Amino acid sequence: MFTTNETVNSPPIETLLAEKRVALYHVSWQSYEKILEALGNHRAARITYYQETLEIVSPLEEHESAHDRLGILIHILTEELNLNIKSMASTTLKIPSLTIGSEPDKCYYIQNEPAVRGKKVDLSIDPPPDLVIEVDITHTDINKNQLYQEMKVPEFWRYNGKKLTIYLLNHNQYQELEISPTFPLLTKSIIYEFLAQCHTQGETQTKRAFRTMLRQMIK
């Protein structure tokens, strides 16, 4: 566990809307690709396509804060562990042969980083990201577990604003774990404390304390 100079309190329960979602059903793959092309890459909304359902999500503050802070945590971890990564935030991941498309909050190449270093990822020939992080605070009509199982993403984190679930792909099925296989020194309690301290004490102070704790653990 890590500490700062202030008392840690759980973040207050808020009722603010975290995301705006629109789901469209019976959408063809061709229509999905035309929508992506029409909207372009410079947009806040994220689009997911699975089993003829197209979902458009506009993240709001609670959602953005959660995935930004989880991203900060991953970057500090990989820096302190001296791991090269390729970060891809909200990048469109498409596999036409499976008619699957997603734009996760965060995704990372870690073990497979050398395979995609310095190139534009093409999932028809490249491996999927090693780690995908999705924040879904409000209800989604997309079965994200099945989607990323079919995409063969080895590790998948889901956060609903209160609970983090970590999945490992095992024989093409996700198995829920308490500790990340990529970062075995990282317990869920550490992640929850990091998120809580970012909320109550600020990100800069929390990052500094987290780095100090990691360096002590790695010694």
Distance, in Å, from the CA atom of 127 to the CA atom of 191, rounded to the nearest integer, reads 27
- The whole-angstrom separation of Cα 81 and Cα 215 is 9
pLDDT recorded at residue 13: 38
Task: Identify the CA nearest to 91 among candidates 52, 53, 126, 137.
Answer: 126
Q: What's the start-to-end Cα distance of the chain, in Å?
A: 15
Domains, in order of start, for the chain: 19-218 (3.90.1570.10)
Neighbours of 100 (CB within 10 A): 20
Quote the pLDDT of residue 44.
Answer: 83
Instruction: Give residue-wise pLDDT tens across range 3-38.
Output: 544 433 434 434 456 788 999 999 999 999 999 999
pLDDT of 18: 74
Mode of pairing for the β-strands spanning 155-159 and 131-135: parallel
Q: How far out from the chain centre does Cα 27 lie?
A: 25
Tokens for 35, please give them.
């929508």
In Å, what is the CA distance from 141 to each residue of 86, 118, 144, 145? 29, 35, 9, 12
CA dihedral 72, 78, 82, 86 (to 10 degrees): -100
Angle between helix 61-80 and 203-218 (nearest 10): 30
Q: How confident is the model at residue 1 (pLDDT cuts 50, 70, 90)?
A: low
* Spatial contact of 53 and 47, defined as CB atoms under 8 Å apart: no
Q: What is the mean predicted confidence (pLDDT) over 164-188?
A: 96
- Segment 140-170, tens digit of pLDDT: 999 999 999 999 999 999 999 999 999 999 9
Confidence at residue 219, expressed as pLDDT on a 0 to 100 scale: 81
Both tokens of 186, joined, read 């990282």
Token pair for 208: 């500094």
Average of per-residue pLDDT across 204-217: 96
CA distance 208 to 82: 17
